[in-house]
Each structure stands twice: as structure tokens, then as C-alpha cells.
Amino acid sequence: MKLPNIKILDESNKILRQVSKEVTFPLDKETKKLINDSLDYLEMSQMDEYIEKYDLRAGMGLSFVQIGILKRIFVISEELEEGFNRYILINPKVISRSEELIYVGEGEGCLSVNRPVDGIVPRHARLTVEAYDIDGNKFTIRVREDIAIAFQHELDHLDGILFVDRIDKNNPYKNKEFMREI
């Protein structure tokens, strides 16, 4: 498998701080290809042989803004025992979120943040999102735990927010006792 030509922007790039624009349908061929290339890239970044061969950092989600395109599109590829589960969300909107807060114990990471970051990012344990698929069909999806965190991380990207912005600078582990670690 050949690594798709995906160039991920570093956090220093000001584009990452911009709000992405709504997408209109039908999608052009180039956008559809980029969606699939992004998913292929993410999957390869989670496979040892490609991590080593192409010197990749593992990632499970990617927003179009991270590749310099201000469109409200993000993709997630969740590694399962029998392969990958692909999520494509276009023009996503949060319908509801749980009151329960969770955080990633070892800390969140981001393909655009190439440095270690201490602290916890409060996230909702469950999320319901309305979005469109690659063909313009509206759907609703309910996610929980690690996938809910990934969705919130990517939704933030679409609004120009990086996970590091959600960590309290003065107290990186603030209110940890009121959240559940996953």
C-alpha cells in the first residue's frame, strides 16, 4: 500500500485557528478522494509496518483544516480486531451530550501537535451528532467513550480549537477528581 500524499499542518500554522466553512453537495471528485486518502493515511498510521516504513505518528482522526482545507469535514478510523471502522462526518452538529465528563488517562494527542503535552482535556462521555455522509445523506450517530472523545477533538478543529486550549494552563489536572479516566 502506498502512503497517500497528505501533508498535516503543525500547530504553528494560523489556518488551524480558523473556523471551517459548511460544505455544499454534491461533493466534487477531489474532495471524495481526499476523504478516502485521509482514512487510508490514518489506517496506515496505526499499522506497525507502515509506521516504521514511513516514520508515521499514529492517529485515529483528521479534520480537513489540518490539511489546510477549511471545510467542515472530519474522518476517524477506529482500529478493531477485524479491521477498521470508518467514520466520515460532513457538516457535523452536536445534538446532545452527556453531563458525565471523562478524559484520556495518558493524555490526548494530535497529529498537528508535535510535542509532549501534560494535562487532561475534559470531554463528554457520550455524544449525539447529526451530520452528512459522503453522498449528502443526513444521519444521526451516538458515540461514547474513546470515539466520543475523538469526535469532540475533531469537532474542536472545525472551530479553530486545539486540544491544548482545553487544558488549564495554571492547573493542568484541574477537576480531575470529578471526571472518569478512560
Q: Which residues are catalytic?
A: 154
DSSP 8-state symbol, 93? E
Secondary structure of residue 54 in the 3-state scheme: helix
* Beta pairing, strands 126-132 & 101-103: unpaired
Distances (CA, A) of 114 to 40, 119, 120: 21, 15, 17
The grid coordinates listed for 108 are 490526548
Alpha-carbon gap, residue 155 to 160, rounded angstroms: 9
* Beta pairing, strands 83-97 & 73-80: antiparallel
CB 158 within 8 A of CB 116: no
